Amino acid sequence: MPVTVLIGGARSGKSALAIRMARAAGTRVALIATAEPRDAEMAARIARHRAERPADWATVEEPLDLGTALTAVVDDDFVVLDCLTLWVSNAMEAGLDDETIGARAAEHAKVAAARPGGGVVVTNEVGLGIVPAHEVSRRYRDVLGRVNAIWCDAADEALLLVAGRALRLERLAR
């Protein structure tokens, strides 16, 4: 079963499309959530996402260890991984260096691509704006860009979402 990466800006429709794709899969669904409720606003966002998904979906809340989360899900379940954006932030906060984050992203993407149930991966595109003023912000932008490229390379399909519309991204010749 294929894996699709949904990439776009904030409020572009990524999570809503991921939910629609999961519902259309016709199988059981497992959601892997990487967000942590560290403040009231984030807790409200998480609550809103929980309310949007069907009650019969399995949920694995795992901010950092995607390998364990992916292998814990039943093979035939369709997986929604939401999201790589926060996973990269969590990995950086945990002190992982850029090479380790990239290597883990490649391992996790390979595991996801090999799953028979398929799935969809949500991530943000944060590299389209100005160059950030602070080193940690530039590092985050660069690391997330590399992680997104790794996942898109492993995926069968990648869609760029903008204002609730999707564009299919073509694979570059290798």
Whether 118 is covered by a domain: the verdict is yes
For tokens 């069968």, what's the residue?
156
Measured CA to CA, the distance from residue 28 to residue 152 in angstroms comes to 24
Whether 68 is covered by a domain: the verdict is yes
pLDDT in tens, 47-71: 988 888 889 999 999 999 999 999 9
* Parent domain of 119: 3-168
Pairing of strands 78-82, 119-124: parallel
Q: What CATH number is associated with residue 150?
A: 3.40.50.300
49 is catalytic: yes
Which residues are CB-neighbours of 8 under 8 A, at least 6 positions away?
A: 14, 124, 125, 160, 161, 162
Whether 123 is covered by a domain: the verdict is yes
On the question of pLDDT at 2 being above 70, the answer is yes
Nearest to 140 by CA among 153, 124, 152: 124
The whole model's pTM is what? 0.94
From the list 1, 27, 28, 49, the catalytic residue is: 49
The mean pLDDT of the chain is 95
pLDDT in tens, 95-120: 999 999 999 999 999 999 999 999 99
Binned at pLDDT 50, 70 and 90, residue 1 comes out as low
Torsion of CA 116, 165, 33, 157, to 10 degrees: 30
Tell me the average pLDDT across 129-149: 96
Whether 40 is covered by a domain: the verdict is yes
Measured CA to CA, the distance from residue 55 to residue 48 in angstroms comes to 13
Whether 35 is covered by a domain: the verdict is yes
pLDDT in tens, 155-170: 999 999 999 999 999 9
Measured CA to CA, the distance from residue 95 to residue 99 in angstroms comes to 12
Whether 41 is covered by a domain: the verdict is yes
Whether 173 is covered by a domain: the verdict is no
At 85, list the tokens: 């954006």
* pLDDT cut 90: percent of the chain above it: 89
- Please state the domain count of the chain: 1
Whether 30 is covered by a domain: the verdict is yes
Quote the strand ranges of 9-85, DSSP E. Answer: 29-33, 58-61, 78-82
Q: How far from chain centre, in Å, is Cα 128?
A: 18
